[in-house]
Amino acid sequence: MRIVRARQISQVFFFLLFLWFCVVASVGEAWWQLRGWPVNWLLQLDPLVALGTILTTRTLYAGLLWALVTVVLTILFGRFFCSWVCPFGTLHHLVGYLGTRGKTLAEKAARNQYHGAQSVKYVLLIFLLGAAVGELLARLTHPLGLSPGQSRPSWVLLILALLVLLFLSLRKLSAQKLRTAHWMVVGVAVSILLACLLSGNSLVGASLQTGLLDPIPLIHRSVNLVILPLVDGATHKLAISQRFTLGAWLIGAVFLAAVLLNLRAPRFYCRFVCPLGALFGVLSRYALWRVGKNQSECSQCARCEGACEGACEPSANIRISECVLCMKCLDVCHEDLIGYRTTPSESGEVVSPDLSRRGFVISLLSGVAAVPVARLGGALGTHWSPMLIRPPGALTEEDFLKRCIKCGQCMRICPTNIDFRVGTSGCQYNCIACGHVCPTAAIRPITVDEKQGKNAFASAGPIRVGAAFVDRGRCLPWAMDKPCIVCQENCPVSPKAIFTREHFSPVRAGPFMVTSVQGVTVTFQGGDLRPGALATGDYVCHSITQEEQGHWKILENTERVLVLSPDPAQQRLPEPGDNLEIQIRLKQPHVDIGRCIGCGICEHECPVSGQRAIRVTAENESRSKEHTLLLS
């Protein structure tokens, strides 16, 4: 079998496997639903997920150990993942192939020329890792005595900054012309960084943003939150109602752009953007086997260049870090000069990524500095958004941001398509699916007992994701004198977190003067009531004249006649001459903040269907001490 055929089989296998995992990530008991399928496997194989979380948390969470397999294989064999496993790569491969069909060899070779901008992906990788590594750097500099509370003489900062600048300039400065602007940038960046980082600035932190561009999380969220809902919207095999995602358009736009860019250059994303590919490029530095020519001279037919997926210049100085091991050059070389071998290419190799030391430093420092800059908005502090409701089991926001790779698995698995405003219900009281599917434990895998605060967790109490607030200006019993209490009924907590207080509210018509009373039938003067309008079981009347008599329930009415309920507890009935006030008996909802878990079921069920009359915000969420409203 030709090696490219083997590669194609591998690509098809992993692509179908990926789609299969997306399909089976549905809560249910059928064999094709989530019941032990390793739906996170591809995410776990992704070493960028592993590396990112190691940098932010200094631990390697459970299944992410799988990434070691990928790392070892890449160190030994090169970027095999890109052309043999990566489902996003496979998609690009296919679309790139379609885009170059019918083109001449020269045109293809031109599109596959190495481009200097391919180093952008290294810049992105270093930048994203820089954002992740800030806290670790701060921790490593801790022994220098520069953290808050420790003595930190300002001259230490100065000397340190100078030392770094000196180191950076030592070798290159004499050989190259001094590019003042360039060095100023470095100098300023270093100074800013040192000033804010090493002084123990509280804004310095770790933010895991690799998932924005990491192809494995990217394709997971694109397929799970955009493609599947679109396809399943027609078939309803996976979900019985249309699934929605806020911001799906942006995910879809990024995905579409990444795919369409293959028409400009095959594997555009892999070559120019992919930070995972960049990481593989670095890791393949010492690959034992690599693609290369077994003699430097060849006919320069450019067939290999026309076929090349990685734009790695196989006919000349092959760039090992760009080679995605598509093996096409081996296949198309008429002279059979190219092989996958242990010896370097006879026509020369470029083993290192095309990224200068300066480029590296600037990307890294920018990444480190980006986090405190972004956090100047205060979103992690006093300006936190109460609209941001994280799932039950989510870590504190700061720790959450150290782990969330934005793969969207939690949103995919959520049986109620939660978003509180567009889901099929609130957070289901007995459901803990999201934490168990999260590949990085940004949402902890909790038990139902822990979620509900039962048994071993009774003293800790239930996990609260927020709290419900009644909007008394919109609530039917509060604002419109209409009975409702749907929110209370649907509250899943026992005893309910929503309780009601009885309130008698006079109706607009009345009071009326009683003219005659026969048994339980009361006739009054004036009045133009709609017959039967008071027969809902919620109306009562009481005598303004005989205050002490309390309320009589109304069974029936006509324009000016009321039939009262024969209540044995009631001693007397109204008398002629009494002034009767008709009231509606309301139960007005109140939230018991000590019991509300913020599940949002009340909000979902509220009949005020636009802006709900009871709404959940993240106030009082139990993951954050700062957001609590409780004293104990």
Partner 1 sequence: MIPSSKAQSATRREFLIRSAKAWASVAAAGGLSLWLYDSQAPRLSQEKARLVTLPDFSIPSKGGQISIVTGEDRVKTVQHALKILGGMEAFIRPGDRVLLKVNAAFATPPILSATANPELVGEVARLCFKVGASSVTVTDNPINDPVSCFTLTGLAQAAHSAGAQVVTPKKSYFKPTTLRGGTLIKNWPLLYTPFEDVDKLIGIAPVKDHHRSGASMTMKNWYGLLGGRRNLFHQDIHNIIKELAMMVSPTLVILDGTWTMMTNGPTGGSLSDLKQTNTMIVSTDQVAADAFGATLLKKTLLDLPYIGKAQAEEVGQSDYESLKPLRDHVG
Residue 510 beta carbon to partner 1: minimum distance, rounded to whole angstroms = 20
Choose one: 183-191, 204-212, 420-428, 513-521; the region binding partner 1 (CB under 8 A). Answer: 420-428
Classify residue 502 as exposed, middle or buried by CB count within 10 Å of its CB (0-12, 13-18, 19+): exposed
Contact between 365 and partner 1 (CB under 8 A)? Answer: no
The residue among 187 and 492 lying less far from partner 1, judged by its C-beta, is 492
Contact between 461 and partner 1 (CB under 8 A)? Answer: no
Token couple for 313: 């210049």
For residue 237, the number of C-alpha atoms closer than 13 Å in the C-beta half-sphere is: 11
Residue 458 beta carbon to partner 1: minimum distance, rounded to whole angstroms = 12
The residue among 216 and 465 lying less far from partner 1, judged by its C-beta, is 465
Residues 12 to 41: which contact partner 1 by CB under 8 A?
27-29
CA nearest to 48, candidates 132, 116, 143, 150: 132
Look at the alpha carbons of 456, 458, 461, 463 in this order and tell me if their dihedral is positive or negative.
Answer: positive
How far apart are the C-alpha atoms of 270 and 281, rounded to whole Å?
11
The residue among 232 and 322 lying less far from partner 1, judged by its C-beta, is 232
Contact between 609 and partner 1 (CB under 8 A)? Answer: yes
Contact between 56 and partner 1 (CB under 8 A)? Answer: no
Contact between 535 and partner 1 (CB under 8 A)? Answer: yes
**In the set 233, 415, 445, 461, which binds partner 1 (CB under 8 A)?**
415
Contact between 495 and partner 1 (CB under 8 A)? Answer: yes
Cis peptide before 511 (omega within 30 of 0): yes
CB burial readout 90-117, b (16+ within 10 A) else e: bbbbbbbeebbeeeeeeebbebbebeee
CA nearest to 517, candidates 574, 595, 465, 581: 574
How far apart are the C-alpha atoms of 591 and 487, rounded to whole Å?
10
> What size, in residues, is the chain?
632
Residue 30, number of CB atoms within 10 A of its CB: 9
Choose one: 91-99, 135-143, 194-202, 422-430; the region binding partner 1 (CB under 8 A). Answer: 422-430
Contact between 294 and partner 1 (CB under 8 A)? Answer: no
Classify residue 266 as exposed, middle or buried by CB count within 10 Å of its CB (0-12, 13-18, 19+): buried
Choose one: 12-20, 140-148, 368-376, 529-537; the region binding partner 1 (CB under 8 A). Answer: 529-537
Residues 224 to 263: which contact partner 1 by CB under 8 A?
236, 240-241
Q: At what angle do helices 120-140 and 357-375 cross, to 10 degrees?
A: 60
Contact between 126 and partner 1 (CB under 8 A)? Answer: no
CA nearest to 379, candidates 356, 397, 402: 397
CA nearest to 24, candidates 231, 217, 211, 237: 237
Contact between 483 and partner 1 (CB under 8 A)? Answer: yes
Residue 427 beta carbon to partner 1: minimum distance, rounded to whole angstroms = 10
Contact between 430 and partner 1 (CB under 8 A)? Answer: yes
Residues 499 to 528: which contact partner 1 by CB under 8 A?
500
Total residues binding partner 1 (CB under 8 A):
44
Contact between 536 and partner 1 (CB under 8 A)? Answer: yes
Pattern 546-575, partner 1, x by CB under 8 A: -------x-x---------x-x--------
Contacts with partner 1, residue ranges (CB under 8 A): 27-29, 236, 240-241, 415-416, 424-425, 428-431, 476, 482-486, 488-496, 500, 535-538, 553, 555, 565, 567, 587, 601, 605-607, 609
